């Protein structure tokens, strides 16, 4: 084939097989490696010699035996641009293949003669602004749209009127919501109610910041209270006769580890039985599906195939799949397949029956246990089934209600507030009715099956109101008893000696400090806290100042006493004997004596030392005089000890004494500074608040943030909402009402005058222009859809088939590449599992090979033809193309031996060529390609955007466009024929029901039927009767 730009060749007769041609799977050679997957020689001997002598031989043999599995691909993974050329299957496409879509020409030139408008057409124009012209070839008419400049139509005028009045109603609803709702329609706190609340709450917070309001919180666990009420009910049910006990007794355990372990082993036994049945479940499903397809095709008179050969091949493939199963599951479990019944319903019911028979064969001695499990399983199936019915009917009712809402309230539906309120109200009402309806059906269904556990469900329904009432009373009682203090502050006061002796058990301690607790359990707690802090801080400051001024290192005692003294005491924790502590203070006199002793010792040691120093003794003696009499005596002794230290002592004593005696006066100043710091910077008293709510004061910058919220969220928001709700919105609503009525009147008058003009001068047009144009009818969709030649459609399908071959080839080659690595991983993990260890092996060459493969596959797929236009075919074209494509598929499957994987790739029953053709068409052209253009024309219409205002028409005029009313989009209505979904009872595994029963068993109640509806058929058989409520 030759196109305008490139030349390409097509060869659809290439013949090859991915199964037989091994040249496609040529890979690099494999080389040995070490246990880490590195390209180095195994150095076993040197490493084995490092082991103890008694394990060297066994380790040597194991390493040699395992080393034969250590193979990697001979690939340099460190080479960044490494490339390995794979032998990809040959392609049918050579060069750049392009497809050229073109407009469909069917009915494109149907001509209508210019003639006068009939009375019917004039009436249509007056009503809707459109008129119809009957097609000469089809039943559906052409619909022509008249420009809104000429005639708008009564329907459009009324719709516009409803829209204007609906906008006024929407403003009214918005105004109401902006007054009394907590949040506006966008979820913001911008309503009058919210702003008033902010004003008063922030004013309250000012007082809370200053004096402290009472702050408590309720610590209550609703879930625990529900369990507490459920425990009482479960104890009563356990003694009742509303249920069968076999499964509960089988899984029962006591409050000890040994009993629970035994029950878990019983659970594991039942779980293993379910695992064995899963193979039967899958085989039974395939058997029923294949048998159903076989019967439908053989006896159902289904026109699925075009010839007898296709039908025979299809049936042979089904028989082949049935024979591949290891056993005849239908015969084994006595299952009959009915073509008149839904196949999914048959599969679910048959699997449930087979599950019962399988478990009975495994637990032959415990048939009552199997019966009990089956009845509980049927309860779960029925509960899920009727819940699905409820949800499905509720959805249908809501869809019908929305349609009725639009019809009954054409004005008010313009407000989404009204729609949301009506939907919520109707949904609540309908859900209540449907719950009661399907609850009755559920009970009747279970009673027909003679399931005893239905009594448990009825018992719950009878006690439901009582349980909720008990829960509410228990919540109110718990709220009163579970109030917790939100803020607690500890203030410590220093005790003055002599200290009290405190005995705690066998230990003694001194009462050096005393703590006072201030909490937020009463109003004005901050004021009380300041009083407590005043006395505590005054006492603490007085104690430390007196201790520092009298007995401290620079206290007055250090100046007047002549001996070292010990100002503090300690206590023996065992005996309670009080003694002086190790902390001591050296007085000035003692320090001066120490200086003098040092002078004497320095002179005596110097004179006694030999004359062997750096200087001679005569010279060194002068230096010693300087050290002793100048530095030690004058500097340290006179100036330091006798002058400087006493001066510091006197100053310290005077300052400490003055501060201590006046502490009662300046401590309030410190408290005020700390109080201002908490108001302005950081409120450290409230930083450990347990529970936060909207009335909790901020921690950082509390005064600033509270003021900001008060002004912005409160005052400004309130003023703005008043302006919006009582001035702007009412004026807007009144304006829209007046505007809507005036526009309705003027448009109606304009249409009446223009329809007289149209009646006199208007005629049926033969061509479209800016005054009238087609919006629907046969062939209208052709200008928005494209078509292609039959040969081009075959090219695209051939490209899709080649893509399928490449994907299968890619999967197989990746398995070949990863095969050696997986083998090493498997062997090594099995070996190391003996020692309870794991092993990891990774060949980086695999990554390089897969990278090269993906690159080459992507390059090949990129040259395959594709198309992005909206491709559609008419009915006759579609029939011819389907026939050609099906023949192409048959030929390509035979030439390229694709029968083993193409059906699985497209998830189509083997041999069903028609379905495979449909899937390939969908892959190439989209899911809507199977709808012919004639069918699309019935549902196709051109529409102008609802927001297509006069400004857009002006823009088009400025751009120089001719048709200012050109439609901006098109709509294809969904087909009215839709397949009704069938809801059936789904199959449930016994193991799932057993796990639910096991999850309900506990010595303490940890679940509630008020919270979990799935547990209303179960009891807690292991619950202790004497459990505290």
For the stretch 5-10, contacts whose Cβ atoms lie closer than 8 Å and that sit 24 or more positions apart, written own/partner, are: 5/96, 5/98, 6/95, 6/96, 6/98, 7/95, 8/93, 8/94, 8/95, 8/96, 8/97, 9/93, 9/94, 9/95, 10/92, 10/93, 10/94, 10/97, 10/795, 10/798
Taking every pair of Cα atoms in the chain, the longest distance, rounded to a whole number of angstroms, is 149
More confidently predicted of 917 and 1000 = 1000
pLDDT band at 978 (very low <50, low <70, confident <90, very high): very low
What is d(CA 314, CA 307) in angstroms, rounded to the nearest whole number? 11
Mean pLDDT calculated for residue range 634-663: 91
Q: What is the pLDDT of residue 842?
A: 73
Q: How far, in Å, are 595, 597, 828 from residue 590 at the CA level?
A: 9, 10, 82
Angle, helices 154-180/416-448, rounded to nearest 10 degrees: 90
* pLDDT, tens digit, 9 for 90 and up, residues 786-827: 677 888 888 888 888 888 988 988 888 888 888 887 877 777
572-583 pLDDT, tens digit per residue, is 888 888 888 888
- Tokens 């290439």 belong to 14
Using pLDDT thresholds of 50, 70 and 90, give the confidence band for residue 1024: confident
Alpha helices in 253-366 (DSSP H): 257-299, 308-324, 329-333, 343-362
Q: What is the pLDDT of residues 357-368, one digit of tens each?
A: 999 999 888 899
Condensed to tens digits (0 to 9), the pLDDT of residues 22-42 reads 888 888 887 777 666 666 665
pLDDT in tens, 550-600: 988 888 988 888 888 888 889 888 888 888 888 888 898 888 888 898 888
pLDDT at 696: 82
Residue 449 vs residue 641, higher pLDDT = 449
Residues in the chain: 1029
Whether the bond between 498 and the residue before it is cis, its omega within 30 degrees of 0, is yes
pLDDT confidence of residue 674 = 94
SS (H, E, C) 437-458: HHHHHHHHHHHHCCCCCHHHHH
Q: Mean of the per-residue pLDDT values for the chain? A: 82
**Is pLDDT of 1027 > 70?**
no
Query: For residue 90, what are its two tokens?
Result: 């040959």
pLDDT greater at residue 894 or residue 678: 678
Higher pLDDT, 862 or 435: 435
pLDDT at 624 (0 to 100): 82
Which segments of 420-512 are extended strands (E)?
483-485, 488-494, 500-504, 507-511
Of the two residues 827 and 182, the one the predictor is more confident about is 827
Confidence of residue 542 (pLDDT cuts 50, 70, 90): very high
In the prediction, which pLDDT does 321 show? 60
> Smallest Cα–Cα separation from 581: which of 495, 497, 513?
497
* More confident site: 421 or 312: 421
**Residue 107 pLDDT class (50, 70, 90 cuts):** very low
User: How large is the average pLDDT for residues 916-924?
Assistant: 85
Query: Regarding predicted confidence, which is higher, 1028 or 227?
Result: 227
Confidence of residue 317 (pLDDT cuts 50, 70, 90): low
User: pLDDT tier at 3 (50, 70, 90 boundaries)?
Assistant: very low
CB 69 within 8 A of CB 33: no
Which residues, in sequence order, are CB contacts of 584 under 8 Å at separation 6+? 564, 565, 566
- Cβ atoms of 877 and 883 within 8 Å: the answer is no
CA distance 144 to 128: 11
Residue-level pLDDT at 793: 82
Q: What is the pLDDT of residue 297?
A: 66
Residue 5's pLDDT is what?
40
**What is the pLDDT averaged over residues 284-294?**
78
Q: What are the pLDDT digits (tens) for 710-744?
A: 999 889 989 998 998 899 999 999 999 999 999 99
Of 66, 48, 68, the closest CA to residue 57 belongs to 48
Where is mean pLDDT largest: 410-419, 780-789, 903-912? 410-419
Q: Give the pLDDT of residue 539.
A: 93
Question: Span 846-860, mean pLDDT?
Answer: 86
Dihedral (Cα; 854, 860, 863, 868), 10-degree rounding:
-50
**From 82-96, 144-158, 265-279, the region with the lowest mean pLDDT:** 82-96
DSSP string of 802-846, one letter each residue: HHHHHHHHHHHHHHHHHHHHHHHHHHHHHHHHTTT-------HHH
H or E stretch at 26: none
Written as six digits, the tokens of 1028 are: 């505290």
Host H or E run for residue 563: none
Q: What's the pLDDT at 6?
A: 44
- pLDDT of 454 reads 92
Residue 38's pLDDT is what? 65
Sign of the C-alpha dihedral, residues 757, 760, 761, 766? positive
| pLDDT at residue 214, as a whole number | 86
Contact at 8 Å (CB) between 102 and 786? yes
Closest CA to 496 of 551, 557, 563, 572: 551
Q: Which residue has the higher pLDDT, 898 or 439?
A: 439
Condensed to tens digits (0 to 9), the pLDDT of residues 187-219 reads: 666 788 888 888 988 898 898 888 888 888 888
Q: Which two structure tokens, joined as six digits, stand for 744?
A: 């309705």
Average pLDDT over residues 998-1002: 92
Residue 76's pLDDT is 74
pLDDT digits (tens, 9 = 90+) for 240-276: 888 898 999 999 998 888 999 999 999 999 999 999 9
Query: What pLDDT score does 977 carry?
Result: 43
d(CA 739, CA 164): 8
Question: How far apart (Å, rounded) are the C-alpha atoms in residues 833 and 827?
Answer: 10
Q: What percent of the chain has pLDDT over 90?
A: 29
Whole-number Å distance between alpha carbons of 261 and 118: 91
Average pLDDT over residues 936-953: 55
Q: What is the pLDDT of residue 46?
A: 64
């Amino acid at each position: 084939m030759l196109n305008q730009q490139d030349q390409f060749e097509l060869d659809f007769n290439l013949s090859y097989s991915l199964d037989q041609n091994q040249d496609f799977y040529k890979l690099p050679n494999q080389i040995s490696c070490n246990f880490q997957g590195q390209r180095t020689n195994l150095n076993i001997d040197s490493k084995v010699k490092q082991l103890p002598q008694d394990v060297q031989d066994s380790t040597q043999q194991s390493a040699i035996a395992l080393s034969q599995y250590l193979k990697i691909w001979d690939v340099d993974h460190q080479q960044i641009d490494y490339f390995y050329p794979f032998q990809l299957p040959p392609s049918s496409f050579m060069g750049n293949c392009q497809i050229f879509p073109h407009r469909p020409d069917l009915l494109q030139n149907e001509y209508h003669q210019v003639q006068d408008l009939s009375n019917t057409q004039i009436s249509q124009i007056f009503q809707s602004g459109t008129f119809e012209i009957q097609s000469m070839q089809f039943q559906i008419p052409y619909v022509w749209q008249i420009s809104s400049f000429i005639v708008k139509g009564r329907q459009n005028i009324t719709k516009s009127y409803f829209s204007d009045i609906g906008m006024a109603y929407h403003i009214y609803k918005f105004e109401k919501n902006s007054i009394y709702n907590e949040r506006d329609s966008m979820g913001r706190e911008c309503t009058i109610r919210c702003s008033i609340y902010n004003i008063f709450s922030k004013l309250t917070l000012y007082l809370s910041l200053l004096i402290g309001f009472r702050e408590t919180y309720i610590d209550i666990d609703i879930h625990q209270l529900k369990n507490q009420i459920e425990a009482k009910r479960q104890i009563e049910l356990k003694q009742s006769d509303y249920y069968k006990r076999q499964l509960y007794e089988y899984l029962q355990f006591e409050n000890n580890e040994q009993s629970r372990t035994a029950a878990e082993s019983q659970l594991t036994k039942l779980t293993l039985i379910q695992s064995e049945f899963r193979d039967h479940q899958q085989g039974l499903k395939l058997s029923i599906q294949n048998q159903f397809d076989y019967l439908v095709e053989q006896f159902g008179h289904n026109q699925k195939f075009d010839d007898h050969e296709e039908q025979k091949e299809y049936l042979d493939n089904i028989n082949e799949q049935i024979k591949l199963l290891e056993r005849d599951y239908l015969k084994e479990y006595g299952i009959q397949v009915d073509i008149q019944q839904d196949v999914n319903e048959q599969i679910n019911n048959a699997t449930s029956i087979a599950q019962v028979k399988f478990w009975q064969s495994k637990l032959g001695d415990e048939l009552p246990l199997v019966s009990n499990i089956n009845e509980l399983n049927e309860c779960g199936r029925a509960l899920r089934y009727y819940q699905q019915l409820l949800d499905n009917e509720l959805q249908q009712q809501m869809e019908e209600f929305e349609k009725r809402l639009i019809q009954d309230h054409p004005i008010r539906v313009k407000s989404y507030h009204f729609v949301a309120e009506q939907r919520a109200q109707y949904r609540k009402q309908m859900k209540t009715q449907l719950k009661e309806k399907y609850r009755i059906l559920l009970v009747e269904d279970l009673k027909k099956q003679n399931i005893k556990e239905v009594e448990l469900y009825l018992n719950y329904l009878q006690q439901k109101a009582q349980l909720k009432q008990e829960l509410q009373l228990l919540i109110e009682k718990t709220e009163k008893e579970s109030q917790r203090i939100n803020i607690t502050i500890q203030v410590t006061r220093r005790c003055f000696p002599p200290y009290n002796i405190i005995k705690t058990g066998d230990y003694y301690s001194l009462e050096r400090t005393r703590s006072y607790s201030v909490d937020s359990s009463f109003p004005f707690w901050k004021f009380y806290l300041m009083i407590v802090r005043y006395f505590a801080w005054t006492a603490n400051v007085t104690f430390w100042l007196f201790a520092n001024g009298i007995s401290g290192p620079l206290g007055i005692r250090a100046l007047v006493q002549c001996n070292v003294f010990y100002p503090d005491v300690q206590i023996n924790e065992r005996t309670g004997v009080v003694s002086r502590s190790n902390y001591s203070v050296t007085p000035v006199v003692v320090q001066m004596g120490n200086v003098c002793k040092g002078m004497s010792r320095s002179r005596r040691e110097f004179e006694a030392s030999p004359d062997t120093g750096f200087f001679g003794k005569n010279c060194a003696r002068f230096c010693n005089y300087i050290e002793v009499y100048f530095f030690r005596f004058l500097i340290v002794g006179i100036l330091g000890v006798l002058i400087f230290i006493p001066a510091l002592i006197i100053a310290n004593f005077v300052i400490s004494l003055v501060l201590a005696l006046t502490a009662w006066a300046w401590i309030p100043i410190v408290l005020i500074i700390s109080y201002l710091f908490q108001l302005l910077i950081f409120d450290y008293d409230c930083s450990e608040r347990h529970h936060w709510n909207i009335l909790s004061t901020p921690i950082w910058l509390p005064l600033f943030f509270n003021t900001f919220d008060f002004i912005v969220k409160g005052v400004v928001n309130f003023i703005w909402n008043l302006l919006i709700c009582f001035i702007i919105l009412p004026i807007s609503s009144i304006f829209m009402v007046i505007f809507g009525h005036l526009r309705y009147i003027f448009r109606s008058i304009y249409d009446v005058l223009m329809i007289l003009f149209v009646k006199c001068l208007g005629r049926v047009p033969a061509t479209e222009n800016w005054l009238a144009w087609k919006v629907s009818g046969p062939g209208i969709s052709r200008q928005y859809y494209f078509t292609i030649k039959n040969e081009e459609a075959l090219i695209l399908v051939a490209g899709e088939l080649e893509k399928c071959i490449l994907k299968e080839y890619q999967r197989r080659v990746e398995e070949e590449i990863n095969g050696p690595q997986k083998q090493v991983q498997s062997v090594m993990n099995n070996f190391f599992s003996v020692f309870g260890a794991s092993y990891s092996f990774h060949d980086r060459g695999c990554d390089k090979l897969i990278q090269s493969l993906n690159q080459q596959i992507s390059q090949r797929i990129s040259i395959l033809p594709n198309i992005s236009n909206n491709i559609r075919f008419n009915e006759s074209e579609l029939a011819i193309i389907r026939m050609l494509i099906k023949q192409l598929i048959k030929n390509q499957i035979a030439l390229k031996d694709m029968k083993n994987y193409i059906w699985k790739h497209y998830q189509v029953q083997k041999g069903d060529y028609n379905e495979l053709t449909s899937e390939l068409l969908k892959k190439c052209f989209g899911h809507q390609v199977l709808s012919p253009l004639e069918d699309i024309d019935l549902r196709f219409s051109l529409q102008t955007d609802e927001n297509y205002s006069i400004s857009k028409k002006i823009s088009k005029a400025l751009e120089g466009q001719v048709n200012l009313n050109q439609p901006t989009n098109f709509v294809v209505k969904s087909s009215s024929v839709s397949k009704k979904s069938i809801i059936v009872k789904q199959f449930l595994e016994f193991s799932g029901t057993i796990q639910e029963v096991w999850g309900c068993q506990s010595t303490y109640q940890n679940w509630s039927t008020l919270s979990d509806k799935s547990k209303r058929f179960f009891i807690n058989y292991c619950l202790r009767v004497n459990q505290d409520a």
